């Protein structure tokens, strides 16, 4: 289990690395954490890492967005609005699960047993300081090792979600 406390530029920096690595290895990424914790922010950074140039918006209402990037096609899903895993087939879960590229799913726990066994698990939580987030991350099954969330030696880049 990897753990770090990150400010927003730090989360964005790690997100880009996550995106590059997830694109290279076609990783399914399950994102957990309360509203406002930074799941969409992390996915936006990851999409930049996949080489997506268009604006990445929260799929809270549309459930799944697909983006073509320089390093692959990335899927971004948000299960906040599903009440039960039985709703998954209707939103194209099979396509997400079998996608030969990076997949990022917010509120992934709502998929329950339907989550693929080989995946990265990332949890974001509010830290005592409102500008910081606690990040815990680990790889499951045959998923490759997850990049370390830092602290990173590189200087923080000014960025915002």
Q: Name which of 106 and 121 has its Cβ closer to Mg ion.
A: 106
Instruction: State how far the Cα of 151 lies from the Cα of 85, in Å rounded to an integer.
Output: 36
Residue 19's closest CA among 71, 77, 95?
Answer: 71
Q: Note whether 67 and 57 are within 8 A (CB).
A: no
Q: Which does 83 bind (CB under 5 to 8 A by kind): ligand ADP, Mg ion, none?
A: none
Q: Which does 112 bind (CB under 5 to 8 A by kind): Mg ion, ligand ADP, none?
A: none
Query: Measured at the alpha carbon of residue 69, what is the angle toward residues 29 and 45, in degrees to the nearest 5?
Result: 50
Among 22, 27, 41, 48, interactor with ligand ADP by CB under 6 A: 41
Residue with nearest beta carbon to ligand ADP: 38
Per-state percent for the chain, helix, strand, coil, to nearest 5:
30, 25, 45
Q: Residue 4 Cβ, how far from ligand ADP at the closest point, in Å?
A: 11
How many residues are given for the chain? Answer: 161
Q: Residue 150 Cβ, how far from ligand ADP at the closest point, in Å?
A: 12
Q: Does 36 interact with ligand ADP (rule: CB under 6 A)? A: yes
Q: Does 44 interact with Mg ion (rule: CB under 5 A)? A: no
Among 17, 20, 40, 50, interactor with ligand ADP by CB under 6 A: 40
Report in angstroms the alpha-carbon separations of 1 from 66, 120, 160. Answer: 29, 11, 27
Name the site residues for ligand ADP (rule: CB under 6 A).
6-8, 11, 33, 35-41, 58, 106, 131-133, 161
């Amino acid at each position: 289990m990897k753990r770090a406390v990150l400010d927003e530029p730090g989360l964005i920096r790690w997100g880009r690395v996550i995106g590059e690595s997830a694109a290279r290895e076609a990783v399914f990424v399950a994102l957990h954490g309360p509203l406002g914790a930074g799941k969409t922010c992390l996915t936006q950074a990851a999409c930049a890492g996949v080489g997506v140039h268009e604006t990445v918006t929260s799929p809270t209402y549309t459930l799944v967005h697909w983006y073509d990037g320089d390093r692959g096609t990335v899927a971004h899903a948000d299960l906040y609005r599903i009440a039960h895993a039985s709703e998954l087939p209707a939103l194209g879960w099979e396509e997400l699960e079998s996608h030969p590229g990076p997949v990022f799913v917010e509120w992934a726990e709502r998929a329950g047993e339907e989550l693929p066994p080989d995946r990265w698990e990332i949890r974001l939580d509010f830290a005592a300081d409102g500008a910081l987030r606690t990040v815990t991350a680990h790889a499951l099954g045959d998923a490759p090792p997850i990049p370390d969330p830092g602290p990173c030696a590189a200087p923080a880049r000014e960025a915002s979600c």
